Homo-oligomer: A and B are copies of this chain.
């Protein structure tokens, strides 16, 4: 049987330890091909490069793996992989993004370059998964999550995702023996409460630097935040329709001109 082709990307950049761990898992299952940003792109959300040209450089950072460093955003990487690198070639069976250095639960899917790359894969018709580890350290230990990542990728390739084509997977910062398993759940209703640190630069000019804390307003036991707090790997199947359907009829009065 032909080995599955697995497109691998991330937002921490092609040299990040997280993507190396993901490529290692992909090599166990199929043939990885990497198109990832040439510099860190955290927090880029679903940004795309409209007004700038993009560059693509072959990279040798992964032994025996076809890889390219791209000057653009994570979403640009997926678009270039599909439309330039793999143009007239076999299209990927799966797109995986990460492993992100840090959590992407709840609405962080909107801010996250890791998840936006996976979202772009799914919009391009490729089943896609974003993986994140709840550890911001560059030296984070990605080993404990690998068996779960392998299980989820194999499941995705064999069974598909049901009606979804995008999974948001977060892995708790725990040793393998302490992880209690996988929970399929919904996005928690949690949010960031920002604070801006004010400072003065060496030239006497004022600046603001974003900081803040993550606040969970969601008491449910079926959310990704709950699953992770309780030692599970969280898996949220995602879509890309943001319509709030129940509000359509409520707003019909707007159609009557005032």
Q: In the complex the two chains form, is B49's CB within 8 Å of A207's CB?
A: no
Taking CB atoms, residues of chain B closer than 8 Å to A199 are 53
Chain A positions 112-151 with a Cβ under 8 Å from a chain B Cβ: 116, 119, 123, 151
Q: In the complex the two chains form, is B247's CB within 8 Å of A187's CB?
A: no
Chain A positions 153-196 with a Cβ under 8 Å from a chain B Cβ: 154-155, 159, 161-164, 166, 181-187, 189, 191, 194-196
A169 CB to closest chain B CB (Å) equals 10
**One of B40, B44, B84 near A196 (C-beta < 8 A):** B84
Q: In the complex the two chains form, is A184's CB within 8 Å of B254's CB?
A: yes
Given A79-B210, A154-B258, A208-B54, do A243 and B237 touch, yes or no (CB 8 Å)?
Answer: yes
Among the interface residues A46, A56, A194, A199, which one has the most CB atoms of the partner chain B within 10 A?
Answer: A46
Given A123-B191, A196-B83, A238-B243, do A43 and B53 touch, yes or no (CB 8 Å)?
Answer: no
Q: In the complex the two chains form, is A53's CB within 8 Å of B208's CB?
A: yes
Given A43-B50, A45-B44, do A123 and B151 touch, yes or no (CB 8 Å)?
Answer: no
Binary CB contact string for chain A from 92 to 105 against chain B (1 if under 8 A, 0 otherwise):
00000000000000
Given A56-B208, A123-B107, A196-B84, do A250 and B186 touch, yes or no (CB 8 Å)?
Answer: no
Q: List 27 A-B contacts (CB under 8 A).
A: A40-B51, A42-B51, A43-B48, A43-B49, A45-B45, A45-B75, A46-B110, A47-B47, A48-B111, A54-B208, A54-B210, A80-B196, A151-B258, A152-B254, A161-B247, A163-B247, A183-B255, A184-B248, A184-B251, A184-B252, A186-B243, A187-B242, A187-B243, A189-B241, A237-B247, A237-B250, A238-B242
Using A237-B243, A238-B242, A240-B242 as known contacts, list a sample of 14 further A-B pairs with CB atoms less than 8 Å apart, ordered by residue number in A: A40-B51, A43-B51, A46-B47, A54-B209, A56-B208, A76-B210, A83-B194, A151-B254, A163-B246, A182-B254, A182-B255, A186-B245, A187-B241, A237-B248
Closest 6 CB pairs of A and B: A162-B250, A45-B46, A53-B207, A237-B247, A164-B247, A164-B244
